[in-house]
Structure 1
């Protein structure tokens, strides 16, 4: 099979690797519009079950990913002037630098015979018309998808809260939350390590707080200086870092949750963020993209014709990601309603932070939800003597 993979992100690279492992005769080219080695962002998260899955699927890259990752098994929650709480033995998580992850996957793909063409932007299927399959892994702003937005049924829901994705030289030893109260409302961060030298530091707040603090019209240097003061307890004198000079300034964004009615059109199929996005607060985006890649490869080799394979991929993958999409939606809504929870005693607040994916939580008074949860935890388990 001749495959044109548009977009050199984790989804497209991993798809090309798995295709070549199944059948080295596949003719695969990955087209990336940016120069080699350039990428945005800091570290991405994943959880322990993904690493086990990657070892099963493709040990050649999984080992390098694991060695390049920083891990944690606890939380630290800073509540402004009230408490700092450490939650031990939380879910085991990992962070890996996005640039490092792409480097590992690129090297592995090339070693298997995948061709990579950088600074080559594909804007229409006619440019790769000789391919048997065109994989659109070109992200949330997919050009190929947008050409047929009506067919795909693309819908985008824009989140209420602005956020900014930063880095810091403060190496965090746990997944860290910090909630800071200002005269204009609450502002908070999510931080986690992704190497021995750096951590990711995502800051979020309500639009009212963002405007009240002047973050809506301040330049990057002034924004970072203010955020360093607001999160001084966490940073301990370390700076916040925006994007590199080549990438331009760090930008405040509103998360866009993207869905599509269908994921393929003839021989064009969507992969990763081009097909769906999930709010960053559950840390599942990379894992879902890699899962998409594996599912598409399996479907292509299980079915006898392309239409059947793409139908199977869409059906099975939609089902697999449904719970993550629901959890991400509820998580983002929880943060958009921080005032509803922030006044609770620290132990209650942290419990609800951990349970923010619950279907019931938005519909019950927070204190009642907490008491019901505590009561349920005291009940004997079914079958226990």
Structure 2
């Protein structure tokens, strides 16, 4: 459908869309414009799950193999609460360095004939000339902001402050660490993304942030304090930040972004430019890539550009509803941490895994835990029943047949063996 496509933003969404479009039709003229130099990126690692990897394999096996080869895996989750710890076995998760993911996607795009224009900023006043312009330029999208009234952008700020850091410590599981201070609790999420290190996101309530002086500390002072607070889980490894200036600039509150509509004429929003979900559910990169998949499919299957963009938006809005709900509930769980933190670690960790439940905020935590455990036992019994049901049925049937054979031999259908005494 589209002959010339301009993707503004060289993140995962823009790069993967360009790959899919060239695979669908090599004749498409696709250019990706990125304002930063090649190889530079913010953040550390990203997470994803098996379902995304399966879809990547279906759509572009070559890049999927490279992504999997450069990813680390985990199945366990570990929670450290004060001096106590608990470990749970769960689903397989993956982590990959953001810089590595972008390098893989950029190399694949070039291989397919996509033009990559780095250090090429695009503003709303100077959009590229193309049949389709894709705003994949992040939550602060210049293209979307230029038409903010049309898109109906709404931004809602969260309560807690957070900072995105890296560490040379390679976590062997998805790690949660909760530390109590004189000013309240502060916590970290840590996950490995390669042999070089892990992502470490630190979060705390506003009172804890100001009480610890993090609002006034410069970057070096903040890192020293955080290394001391999380020394047990870091095993002496340092924390690193890529920001500059005062740390207060690097401790924002999370901003949830939504838009009333996702397209305007030949301009369409993709990834964080269209929507954001709280980082605690680890879905940002997955959602961006799924946006690219849906948009590429709509452009291939629909007859006109307006129809394709409308279909893309409908499909992705429907898919996002449960994810956005889970993200809101997840953020609220952490904002209400004192409600759960004094439970025994295994109970607290179980409710951490249930934080997406809309029922959890409305029941006493211990009661919810007992109900969840009882439901889990019932489900286990159901699974055992489903598994053993056919075996039991076959056994019963065999016994009935054997009994029937005996009755047939005796000539009496109700005959029973004679008592020998």
Into which bin does the TM-score normalised by the smaller protein fall? over 0.9
Q: CA deviation at 1:367?
A: 1.3
Q: Which structure 1 segments of 5+ residues have no match?
A: none
What TM-score, normalized by structure 1, do the two folds share? 0.96
Report the equivalent of 1:19: 21
Q: Alpha-carbon deviation of 1:292? A: 0.2
Question: Matches of 1:124 and 1:136 in 2, distance apart?
Answer: 10
Instruction: Give 1:148 shift.
Output: 1.1
Q: CA deviation at 1:378?
A: 2.6
Distance in 2, Cα, partners of 1:54 & 1:160: 35
2:8 equivalent in structure 1: 6
Question: Residue 298 of structure 2 aligns with which residue?
Answer: 299
**TM alignment of 1:58-73, pairs within 5 A:** 58-73=60-75
CA contact (8 A) 1:167 1:200 kept: yes
Aligned partner of 2:122 in structure 1 is: 122
Asked whether the equivalents of residues 6 and 30 of structure 1 are also in contact (C-alpha less than 8 Å), the reply is: yes
1:233-248 superposed matches below 5 A: 233-243=232-242
For the residue of structure 1 that corresponds to 2:94, the secondary structure is strand
Maintained 8 Å contact 1:279/1:329: yes
CA shift for structure 1 position 244: 6.8
Query: Distance between the aligned counterparts of 2:336 and 2:228, measured in 1?
Result: 24
Distance 1:337 1:217 in 2: 25
**How do 1:265-276 and structure 2 match up within 5 A?**
265-276=264-275
2:35 to 33, 36, 40: 33
Give the number of equivalent residue pairs: 381
Which segment is superposed worse, 138-147 or 44-53? 44-53
RMSD across aligned positions (CA): 1.5
Structure 2: any 5+ residue segments left out of the alignment?
390-421
Once the two structures are superposed, what CA deviation does each residue of 1:148-199 show, in whole Å capped at 9, x if it has no partner? 1111111111110000000001111000000000000000000000011201
Structure 1: distance between partners of 2:196 and 2:36: 26
Contact conserved, 1:189 with 1:204, CA < 8 A, in 2? yes
Q: CA deviation at 1:381?
A: 2.6
Contact 2:174–2:190 under 8 Å retained in 1: yes
Distance 2:94 2:54 in 1: 12
Structure index of larger Rg? 2
> 1:248 Cα shift?
9.5
SS of residue paired to 2:155? strand
Q: Is the 8 A contact 1:352 1:370 kept in 2?
A: yes
Residue 174 of structure 1 contacts residue 192 of structure 1 at CA under 8 Å; is this kept in 2? yes
- Could you tell me whether the CA contact under 8 Å between 2:217 and 2:246 is conserved in 1? no
TM-score of the superposed pair, with normalisation by structure 2 = 0.88
Q: Aligned equivalents of 2:324 and 2:91: distance in 1?
A: 19
Q: Which residue of 2 aligns with 1:49?
A: 51
- Deviation sequence 1:219-241 (CA, Å, 0-9, x none): 11110101011001101111011
Report if aligned partners of 1:168, 1:199 keep a CA contact under 8 Å in 2.
Answer: yes
Who is 1:336 aligned against?
335
Q: Is the 8 A contact 2:188 2:203 kept in 1?
A: yes
Task: Tell me, in whole angstroms, the C-alpha distance in 2 between the residues paired with 1:101 and 1:347.
Answer: 34
CA contact (8 A) 1:157 1:256 kept: yes
Displacement of 1:126: 4.7
In structure 2, how many angstroms separate the alpha carbons of the residues matched to 1:225 and 1:128?
Answer: 45
Question: How far apart, CA to CA, are the structure 2 residues paired with 1:15 and 1:167?
Answer: 28
CA deviations over 1:330-361 (Å, ceiling 9, x no partner): 00110011011111122211110000000101
Deviation at 1:127, TM superposition (A): 3.6
The secondary structure found in structure 2 opposite 1:92 is: strand
Contact kept? 1:178, 1:188, Cα under 8 Å: yes
CA contact (8 A) 1:11 1:293 kept: yes
- Given that residues 341 and 348 in structure 2 are in contact (C-alpha distance below 8 angstroms), is that contact kept between their aligned partners in structure 1? yes
